[in-house]
Structure 1
Amino acid sequence: MAARPTTEVDQTPHADPFPDALRAAIRARGLGLERIRDRLRVLGAPVSVAALSYWQSGRCRPERPDSLIALAHLESVLEVPAGSLISLLGPPRPRGRWLTGAAPDIEAYWPNKALVRAAVRSVNSRWDQRLTRISQHDLVTVGPDRELRSILSRQVLRADEDGPDRWVVILHLDDHTRPLPVVRPLRHCTLGRTVHQPGDGLLVTELLFDRPLARGETIITEHEVGYQAPYPLATNYERKFRRPVREFVVEVGFHAAAQPVRCTQFLAGGKW
């Protein structure tokens, strides 16, 4: 049996490229809306045929968190590159406190703000407020002794103006006796300047894009944070957002010997 080629999403500029790209992907995949609905249901992301029809006609767009999770699964069902449809949705509509004032300072959500502020001065964070966060997907791996082994991060960003060429990663260990992790760029990025402060449990590094982005251009980057022995205990996981993000997905893979009794989600400074 011949392998099915991977479908590419048409990203030619339109007034609203999302419905056009979705229709093209559905047509190329050769599946009816009922079959797509059934496959999404099996994946745990139910979407009605009516909703799928509205999405591809442009009558409405995925907005709610469950719809955005379903859209990520839909990309898999349609065999298009991960993030290629989500990236066409554009920025989320401002809500709540984001309607007033600028984004918080980059160190705002860290326990030792002065420490983070000083470290960030050693890298170039000028583009941080010029990148719209479209999607953030984290895969956290927990080892057999309930230790944090790695974090695989994939994000979709869009440039708000010409020029953004990097992303700044800030990592902090609560236990300063553990070695700092190693950041490994995997897709569409390389390492830039890095600040190591092991005594403070702090690491700040630049992820340099393949090239500067033009206004409205999107990029999908992937990087892995690999922790080193003796590993820090995986008692919690936090992702801090300075600006709104349209979609955030966190997966946690637990070793069979370290299954949790329960997990609790929390949000600081906002609402679910």
Structure 2
Amino acid sequence: MSSGAFVGDDGSLPQQRITRAERNGNQSFADVLAEAVSSRHVTLDRLSQELKAAGTPVSIATLSYWQTGRSIPTRVGSLKALAVLEQLLRLPAGHLAAALGQLHGDDRMARLLAELDFPPQQDFTTQTVHHRTHFSLQQHEQRETVIQLIQADEDQLRRIPLVRQADEDQAPPEMTDPVGCRIGEQVSSVDLGLTLIELELEQPLQLGEMAMLEHTTTWPVAETQVHTFAHAMLRPVSFLVLELLFADTLPRHADYLRYQLGALDPDLDRAPGQPMEGTDFFQLALANAAAGTHHLRWEMP
């Protein structure tokens, strides 16, 4: 990464611009970022190049979405990139993150559920979740298969909500190969960075009855060194298993962390990085796994 930061051609001091931004408490993240970029007289292409050189790549399209308010940074890598952006744009540490504001995840999630006519309180319990990811760097493919065991908490359970981490560049790929369910409607929340999907059960469940559901999603793999996958949960589960299987190129290490749904800062649930040289398999098993977004992050050589 090149040293220093972008300095405006007009010679204005960063603090002068920041003070103007801070006086307007109603400024959105998009407004704050757009003003900072404009004040520094720098292109999004240049910013994207610098972010990639710093090891926190963000595409030009994503930067444009952030600047226009079409999306906001929600992923682990994107939030790390904000710190680099602050350095490049001569902003105080945490300035862009603060502009995102405090996300009231519970209220916004309730509204998101209501859009698909789901109640705020779920009428089923997820007993176990097994999330297995097959990763191939050579085939540029990341295939994720989720198997979950659910139990009805009331009679005539016909549908359940599934929450997924939303991509900041584009809509997530379609889920395929559903077992025990059909894929219904879906709705996304930009500020939460989540997509809610309706799963219609093949047969209604009565109180106490259980069913095993399965579905697969295949993502394209970007040409970056660091990769992640996320599993989002509205409620705790008794057992959560996260697995990574590498088809060809082996990673250097992997680590785990958990976020609250819609939060900007990680919870305390953070496992130390696990060295992975010479192994093609990583597994993390959690008992009484908390609600939130569970991330696995791995670094390729």
Larger gyration radius, structure 1 or structure 2? 2
TM-score, length basis structure 1: 0.49
TM-score, length basis structure 2: 0.45
Q: Using CA pairs below 8 Å that are at least 6 residues apart, which structure has the higher relative contact order?
A: 1
